[in-house]
Structure 1
Amino acid sequence: MPFRYDLPVWYSRERPYRRVVANLAAALALAASTSVIAQSAPTVAQTQPAAPAVTLPASAAAANTASSAADRHVENTDHAQPSPVVPTPPSELYGELYRDVELAHLYPDSKTFADMSPGEPPAQVIADYDSQRAQPRFDLKQFVEQRFTLPPRAPKRYASDPDESVTAHIDTLWNVLRREPDASASPYSSLLPLPSPYIVPGDRFDEIYYWDSYFILLGLDASGQHALVDDELNNFSTLIDRYGHIPNGNRTYYLSRSQPPFFAQMVQLVARKEGDQVYARYLPELRREYAYWMAGSDHLAPGNAAHHLVRLADGTLLNRYWDERAAPRDESYREDVMTAQRIPQRDARDLWRNLRAGGETGWDFSSRWFADGRTLATIDVTSLVPVDLNCLMVDLERTLAKAYRVTGDAGHAENLELRARVRADAIRRVLWDPQLHAFGDYDFVHRTLTHRLTAATVYPLYAGVATRNDAREVAQTIRRDLLRPGGLATTRTNTGQQWDEPNGWAPLQYLAVIGLRRYSEPELARDIATRWIRTDVAYYQRTGKLVEKYDVDASGKSAGGGEYPLQDGFGWTNGVLRVLMQLYPDAVSSTKPADLPGGAVGVSDAAASAAAAPQTSHSTSPAGH
């Protein structure tokens, strides 16, 4: 039987989600419906200048044949579930009201209004707004506060114990960052309820985030919280069952995009504990995850791009980051409008789609994505074939092949194994940059590598895609150009963006360490891990906190940049540090704040400041993101 992939329910020809609430009646009808929400991506193919012609390997041609229209089948009904809320972002539900509230800057963080729930149906809210806003003494903030409420989550106050080691601190924090299954919410809430307990990053991020969660799961596993790891995997599989993919986070305004696809890695993590039956259990979700990223491949001609796909002139099929909407992000609405105003010569919709796609990368934002290498307004994510995404797709293809083998389906398994080999070959062929002696991103519009060195060069090592020689060169490049006193730098460019020099991020340290160990580079792996551990611990000893990112040029110093203040907590920092300290237990001799002169005082000061700070749904703890 040929290997087929039909588009999942999410991609049916009619898409309530996209048109949703072109009038509010459609949204209200959806709210009342208990059927599966069917959504489909509209045709958005972009014709691009052809990439340099390369003879396509025979295996690649075979894989492309295998991915034709006759070869695409996903059983749409496997585990399918309806959405418990209207899957429509607030900016579409409330239209002018949403825009007016965000541009009036009623709240310091654009995300605040996006997370509020109405006390009455949106149609009534809009009718009230239309009838009242022209009145002489109309007060917009009062109008909002009378009709909307913040999520009903009690803040958890937490003060660090100066006598607690950093690992004990992390193990304690899992409970601080834990959220119980979501109660049934208003059908108009932006929160996508989850059926099982979950861990949030912390601070303004009081919901789950896709790629953050993999690194959180690693830490939970290291802490012995295996039941919670299972719960998290159940939550992500539920999102796939409801929406056909894992959104950026469990909010309606994140549904138009995903994030780096680590679901396969999550399945592998659980399978290592529970056995191969885990692959069979999650086969339906693995298939739908893959179908989401590969949607449209059967109609995509060489030299074109559509949705998450790029087909080069030689027929090579690779992935890119994308977002189905071309509008300001709900959670950063005012910021996106202002960015568009700074560059009026650029089509605003194109800019906004690229800002959204930047959110899908997880690197929001970085000079890596900027056409001029420095300015946010020149962001051009959708023109790039990113090395990290395609390495994760290799792993997804391998994991899906494994799941088919476990179920005895050798034909499907062989097809996915072939696809993984073809993609790995394309990564080595298209994304190797001999100028940098590293892997990079390919600009398929201008038919050139971007020639920007970033820490994403470690992904082919992490995924086992690099050759031995490639890995050796990458290790030398990292040691020479990205290694800093506090760990691995994200890029070599200081733009003020958070995913640039001098900032270091926990997931990139972990991926580098694991990738280098995989390719027999233990000394560099240990060096990176040790520097990062000492950076985290030094900051913890001074403040009693673990934070989102660090300045790796100045060990133990928190980082800046980005669209929001530094967040503490912090989910993936906790997870990665917990794992690295298991791998390298001798990296530091002491981790207690009380062991540092003045450390206990610093913790007390931090705790006092946190206790005095206003507590909202976005401030879950003095040490939480």
Structure 2
Amino acid sequence: MSAAAVELGDAGRNAARIAEVAPADTLSPADRYQELFVAVQAGRVFSDSKTFVDCAPLHDPEDILDAYRARRSLPDFDLAAFVHDNFRPEHARESRYVADPQRTLVEHIDYLWDVLTRQPRQHPVRSSLLPLPNPYVVPGGRFGEMYYWDSYFSMLGLAGSGRLDLMRSMADNFAYLIDTFGHIPNGNRSYYLSRSQPPVFALMTELFEAHGLCRALRYLPRLRKEHAFWMDGGEQLRHNEVHRHCVRMDDGALLNRYWDDRDTPREESYLEDVTTAAQGRRPVHEVYRELRAGAESGWDFSSRWCGGDGALASIRTTSILPVDLNSFLHKLETQIAQLSGACGDQASAQEFSRCAEARKKAIDRWLWSDAAGAYLDYDWQRDHRRDHLCAATATPLFVGVASPMQARRVAETIRTRLLKDGGIATSECFSGEQWDRPNGWAPLQWMAISGLSDYGETVLSQEIGRRWLSTVASLYRREHKLVEKYVLQLPPEGAHGGSGGEYPLQDGFGWTNGVVRRLLQDMAAGAGEGG
């Protein structure tokens, strides 16, 4: 069957399923509720800005807005009471989940998949949740929707747990999102539609094929659509011009940056963004765009995106060409080339092979630092390579774009500068932001472990894995949970969950579960082979 025929079959099945669930409201809460939205968020009716934008309206949204406009000037009007009369907060189900301390770590993770699974028929009507045709896994805690790059790392564990049913469902959900919106949003919420997240769908399709789920060729049309989203307007750029995600360098190379199409406060962090923008001297809409672009990176937030003082108000994400984004796009181009060749489309195979080779040369030219022995982000506005070393330096190894020499140099740099008691450090900077020291994150551990292993740096790869598993297991033994991020400098009493950022530490937690489950599986397989 051709890729086009498969696409039509998938679309038909998804359309039939989506017709059974609540219709999507693609207007974001800020657009839908206008001045009511501003009043609720600025007045801190809920302690977490995300709570209101995730609420389900109890009546028609237009009627709610009309009622607010009619009553807000009355002397006895109570905004909080009005909100609670007209909206239902969607409390996280897993907040009521109590772990069984008798379960092993593997048993705990295997059990949690069902706790973290959401069903299409659970979608509340007229809320910001974008309905999906199939069940899906959410991260946990305050994150009750499916996130793009989180899901890849969760899938690693789903495969280890034998939950190919959920992997298949999520694969078709991502295909549905691309078919419907032209890209995969940050998450399946209307307020995430203006941005994506690190493009890892190509990695997902490899995972599906590796586990016998389906042929990656099935998703070729979606991979091409995703590439078109990230490269929109790029071909028309002249030297030193930019458009959306694309930047044309002065040597003609085309590289990418993170971007968001809107320049208003993030709706899920409205008051936080307004406060941040007020602390700087730039026009506030510029700061809002940079914050949104930082959220698209998945590293929200980090000194990686900030100016010299490291303050969040100095954020300048769109000025930076990230190592990880361009590595993922190289993987996407390579995957499209291979799959196009497999289905006999040699013209497309050659086209995307040229794109991948051009990007590899651009990564070497602009993002590789021989002096540092590392891949570093590039500031295209200030025309210099940034000296901010972070765990993204392992991403070229993870996707196979590094040379053996570069891999050896990166391994030594990681060993001497980023390796800590509990795993690989996110960065070398203590900024107070969550994507910096002292926190460690599961996806960064996995990309370093896997990338180093692929290049024969087995000792370092295994050491990072051992330290990370020790960190996670230490907290699990004491508190019987897995969390979003961990402190890597271990105190005498054992591991602690990470800190910093805009919200309290979350437990659940999708990508930690996925990476740990996969590492434990690999460790067991290695022990079996050794025996």
Q: Same fold (TM over 0.5)?
A: yes
Partner residue in 1 for 2:3: none
* Stretch moving more, 152-161 or 123-132: 152-161
Q: Does 1:441 align with 2:377?
A: yes
Contact 1:340 1:377 in 2 (8 A): yes
- When residues 575 and 265 of structure 1 are mapped into structure 2, their CA distance, relative to the original with a 3 A threshold, is same
1:123 to 62, 70, 89: 62
**2:143 aligned residue:** 205
1:503 aligns with 2:435: no
532-541 vs 150-159, which moves further: 150-159
Structure 2 distance, partners of 1:360, 1:557, is 27
Alpha-carbon distance, 1:155 to partner: 5.5
Q: CA deviation at 1:309?
A: 0.5
Aligned to 1:244: 182
Say which SS state the counterpart of residue 282 (structure 1) adopts.
helix
Q: Pick from 444, 447, 456: which aligns with 2:392? A: 456
The 8 Å contact of residues 153 and 511 in structure 2, kept in 1 or not, is answered as yes
Q: Which residue of 2 aligns with 1:278?
A: 215
**Residues 108-132 of structure 1, C-alpha deviation per residue, up to 9 Å, x if partnerless?**
1100100112233333222221221
Alignment of 1:59-98 (within 5 A): 79=11, 84-98=23-37
Partner SS for 1:584: helix
In structure 2, what is the Cα distance between the partners aligned to 1:79 and 1:307? 28
Q: CA shift at 1:184, angstroms?
A: 6.1
The 8 Å contact of residues 472 and 482 in structure 2, kept in 1 or not, is answered as yes
CA distance in 1, matches of 2:446, 2:309: 26
Q: Does 1:106 align with 2:42?
A: no
Task: Output the amino acid matched with 2:241.
Answer: N
The one-letter amino acid of 2:131's match is: P
Aligned to 1:595: none
Higher relative contact order (CA 8 A, sep 6+): 1
Give the AA of the match of 1:521: E
Equivalences for 1:596-611 in 2 at 5 Å? none
- The amino acid across from 2:419 in the alignment is L
Q: Is the 8 A contact 1:183 1:193 kept in 2?
A: no
Aligned to 2:110: 171
Gap change, CA 1:304 and 1:148, over 3 Å in 2: same
* Helix, strand or coil at the partner of 1:550: strand
**Structure 1 segments unaligned to the other structure (5+ residues):** 1-74, 589-625
| Distance change >3 Å, CA 587–CA 203, structure 1 → 2 | farther
- Cα distance in 1 for partners of 2:394, 2:85 equals 50
Q: Which amino acid aligns with 2:48?
A: D
Q: 1:76 to 1:229 in 2, by over 3 A?
A: closer
Pick the aligned partner of 1:298 from 215, 220, 235: 235
- The alpha-carbon deviation at position 403 of structure 1 amounts to 2.0
Letter in 1 for 2:31: E
| Offset from partner CA, 1:78-120 (integer Å, 9 cap, x none) | 9497993231110111111101100111111100100112233
Residue 228 of structure 1, CA deviation: 1.0
Amino acid at match of 1:219: G
What's the RMSD between the two structures over aligned residues?
Answer: 2.1
1:547 corresponds in structure 2 to 483
Which of the numbers 283, 287, 292 marks the counterpart of 1:347?
A: 283
Residue 378 (structure 1) aligns with: 314
Asked if 2 retains the 8 angstrom alpha-carbon contact of 1:321 and 1:361, the reply is yes
Residue 106 of structure 1 aligns to a residue in which SS? coil
Q: Tell me if the contact between 1:367 and 1:373 (Cα under 8 Å) persists in the aligned partners.
A: no
**Kindly tell me: are residues 93 and 312 of structure 1, through their superposed partners in 2, closer, same or farther at Cα, counting changes over 3 Å?**
same
- 2 CA distance for matches of 1:346 and 1:369? 16
Aligned to 1:16: none
Q: Which residue of 1 aligns with 2:246?
A: 309
Distance in 2 (alpha carbons) for counterparts of 1:286 and 1:77: 17
TM-score when normalising by structure 1: 0.79
Cα 1:282–1:586 change in 2 (3 A) is: closer
Query: Shift of residue 154 of structure 1?
Result: 5.4
The structure with the largest alpha-carbon Rg is 1
Alignment partner of 1:501: what SS? Answer: coil
Change (3 A) 1:255 1:582: same
1:158 Cα offset (Å)? 2.9
Q: Deviations over 1:305-328 (max 9, x none)?
A: 111111111110011100000000
The answer to which structure has the higher helix fraction is 2
1:558 equivalent to 2:497? Answer yes
Equivalent residue for 1:421?
A: 357
464, 471, 484: which is aligned to 1:528? 464
Where structure 2 has 5 or more consecutive residues not aligned to the other structure, the ranges are 1-6
Q: Take 1:99 and 1:527, find their aligned partners in 2: how far apart are those partners?
A: 49
Identity of aligned residues (%): 47
Other-structure match for 1:319: 256
Partner of 1:605: none
Contact kept, 8 Å, 1:534 with 1:587, in 2: the verdict is no
SS in 1 for 2:251: coil
Q: Any residues of structure 2 matched to 1:115-264 within 5 Å, and which?
A: 115-151=54-90, 157-183=96-122, 185-186=124-125, 188-264=126-202
Which residue in the other structure is 1:494 paired with? Answer: 430
- Contact kept in structure 2, 1:435 and 1:451, CA below 8 Å: no
| Of 268, 283, 298, the match for 2:206 | 268
Which secondary structure does the structure 2 equivalent of 1:580 belong to? helix
Tell me the residue number matched to 2:517: 578
Distance in 2, matches of 1:78 and 1:167, equals 33
Alignment-derived partner of residue 484 in structure 1: 420
Matched to 1:242, the amino acid is T
Counterpart secondary structure, 2:444: helix
Deviation at 1:236, TM superposition (A): 0.7
1:274 aligned counterpart, secondary structure: coil
Q: Give CA deviations for 1:270-328 in whole Å, capped at 9, x if unaligned.
A: 111337x6233112211111111011123212101111111111110011100000000
Residues 512-536 of structure 1 deviation map (CA, whole Å, 9 limit, x = unaligned): 0111011110000001000000000
Matched, 1:331 2:268: yes
Q: Compared with structure 1, are the counterparts of its residues 158 and 116 closer, same or farther at alpha carbon in structure 2 (3 Å cutoff)?
A: closer
Give the Å deviation of 1:467. Answer: 1.2
User: Within 2, Cα distance between the matches of 1:409 and 1:533?
Assistant: 44
Q: Distance in 2 between matches of 1:495 and 1:76?
A: 49
The one-letter amino acid paired with 1:354 is E
Match of 1:473 in 2: 409
Q: Give me the whole-angstrom Cα distance separating, in 2, the residues matched to 1:154 and 1:448.
A: 47
For residue 259 of structure 1, report the CA deviation from its aligned partner.
0.2
Kept in 2, the 8 Å contact 1:191–1:250? The answer is yes
| CA distances 1:165-208 after superposition (whole Å, capped 9, x unpaired) | 1111110111111111245643x320001111111100100111
Letter in 2 for 1:167: V
Q: Tell me how far apart the structure 2 counterparts of residues 576 and 509 of structure 1 sit (CA, whole Å).
A: 8
